[in-house]
A and B are shown apart, each in its own frame.
Chain A
Amino acid sequence: LAKTTQPISMDSYEGQEVNITCSHNNIATNDYITWYQQFPSQGPRFIIQGYKTKVTNEVASLFIPADRKSSTLSLPRVSLSDTAVYYCLVVNTGGFKTIFGAGTRLFVKA
């Protein structure tokens, strides 16, 4: 399994763009990068997934450089409701098992 490393916590203000970077130096050729969001007292929920370059959906953008050893989740114009824990995962294509790390705790202030 490719290990991921991401900051433990980040603070931001409403209206700002937030970028959370995740390192995954041992990512394998066929692995995908996936991000989840977890609000307090809820289970995590999928927000975005990508393989390379850039992926964008209604929630976030995911930037993946050519070497794929890192990825950056970008949240545009955050609001207080974006306060959550964000997890970066690398999908294991061998056994299809994915493991969550500690995540990044984002706190958005007014």
Chain B
Amino acid sequence: GAGVSQSPSNKVTEKGKDVELRCDPISGHTALYWYRQSLGQGLEFLIYFQGNSAPDKSGLPSDRFSAERTGGSVSTLTIQRTQQEDSAVYLCASSSVWDRGGSGAEDTQYFGPGTRLTVL
């Protein structure tokens, strides 16, 4: 079946411009994550959506970053007034969280190919 898709795959922008990155999760997945990964570094958590609950925005690095998830499906990550330090690969993941009924929960994340953002 279709996996997680992200667009655009590459984005080059000038410092100070706004950018929007899109994520299409796997159909039916209730959870959606955004991460950022700089070259040679690990994943940096940005934001987490789960169903209709308020998103966990604890990883957003500044108020220039925001994200929304419309209709519980597609998500858009917006970066306003981009800075050169925003250059990174932005990864989206979705998962179908399910409870094993008292013996734990499972949350396998499926990742998209990422959007490589370059801020000049």
Contacts and interface: CB of A to CB of B under 8 A. Distances in A.
A100 B104 contact: no
A49 B105 CA distance: 11
A30 B111 contact: no
Contacts of A97: 48, 50, 56
B113 interface: yes
B103 A98 contact: no
A22 to B, nearest CB: 14
A85 B42 contact: yes
Contact of A98 (B4, B109, B111): B109
Q: Of residues B43, B102, B112, which shows the largest number of chain A Cβ atoms within 10 Å of its Cβ?
A: B43
Interface size class of chain B, counting residues whose CB lies under 8 Å from the partner chain: 20 to 34
Contacts of B102: 30
Contacts of B50: 95-97
Interface residues of A, number: 25
Contact of A93 (B45, B105, B110): B105
A102 interface: yes
A98 B105 CA distance: 11
A51 B111 contact: no
Nearest to B116: A41
A42 B43 CA distance: 12
Interface string B42-71: 110100101000001000000000000000
Given A87-B42, A103-B42, A43 B106 contact: no
Interface in B95-117: 97, 99, 102-114
A32 B107 CA distance: 9
B104 A46 contact: no
Nearest 10 pairs of A and B residues by beta carbon? A43-B111, A102-B42, A100-B43, A30-B104, A93-B105, A96-B97, A46-B108, A97-B48, A43-B91, A91-B107
Interface of A: 30-32, 34, 36, 42-46, 49, 51, 85, 87, 91, 93, 95-103
15 contacts: A32-B105, A34-B108, A36-B109, A42-B114, A43-B112, A44-B43, A45-B111, A46-B110, A49-B106, A51-B103, A87-B43, A91-B107, A93-B105, A99-B45, A100-B45
